Chain A
């Protein structure tokens, strides 16, 4: 059930969720997206190019974070504009063989702005991992009926 534009107000919370990430998730994302940069799956390579370790694809984080908006909107196609800046890497530790995630990403969303003429709502996402905002200006514009 899609939210109705007229029932929304700026500042309104749309919910939150926690995304657990493992090294396996990064390998799956690499395969699905075609981005095989070894900084996302090879520890020695990542540290060799002065990174603290294997980091998630920024596009993994962006793509996973927007699911909160998609599910709230009720139709993935309602997201007509989506942007972000990648400010901090999400470091994913190697927990292979355990049930522990290698990183946890907390996503929450709130209505940033409503455009009555266009019938759109801008959802501002707050995306945090290890206590730091990993995305900035993460904004999804949603077309509502």
Chain B
């Protein structure tokens, strides 16, 4: 299986909406062993000035990896998911993610680089929250960037 070099520069538009729920924030927080009350107790979150429960700093990976799945599952990309290793990750938060947010993500393939028999693929997910101002209105929430290494045979 070889990675399609033409992936670089490709974009996938925002697809399905991700509804951020309180229980999902609590579940994710427990899964990363977070104990801060702002993830669990609405009053504690409000006391810090937030509208609702606050997501942990890496929560956006759920939305980012859903967006990435469009690329990984694209037969034209040539990516074997079982040989994927996460190489680096960054989240820039433009504003906190809170329960009640309705999020969408645009996926951009920023880089494809051959490495041995495999490839390093850098993607960027621009995450927006839908707002009440009509069907096209949205505000930037986070920018996630990931590099994944697709290992070649013997790597």
Contacts and interface: CB of A to CB of B under 8 A. Distances in A.
Given A34-B66, A49-B82, A82 B58 contact: yes
Interface stretch (B49-57, B101-109, B127-135): B49-57
Nearest to A86: B86
B62 A81 contact: no
B101 to A, nearest CB: 13
Interface string B88-130: 1111110010000000000000000000000000000000000
Size class of B's contact patch?
A: 35 or more
Contact of A62 (B30, B85, B89): B89
Nearest to A142: B57
Contacts of B61: 33, 35, 59, 63
Nearest to A55: B85
Contacts of B154: 50
A76 B89 contact: no
Interface in B52-73: 54-58, 61-62, 65-66
A59 B56 contact: no
B15 interface: no
Contact of A75 (B30, B34, B48, B55): B48
A60 interface: yes
Nearest to B33: A64
A38 interface: yes
A63 B36 CA distance: 13
B32 A60 contact: yes
B85 to A, nearest CB: 8
Contact of B65 (A34, A39, A83): A34
A118 interface: no
A44 to B, nearest CB: 13
A9 B81 CA distance: 44
Given A49-B82, A63-B56, A70 B36 contact: yes
Interface of B: 24, 27-28, 30-36, 38-39, 48, 50, 54-58, 61-62, 65-66, 81-93, 96, 151, 154-155
12 contacts: A31-B31, A33-B31, A45-B82, A49-B82, A49-B83, A49-B151, A59-B58, A60-B31, A63-B61, A64-B33, A75-B48, A81-B91
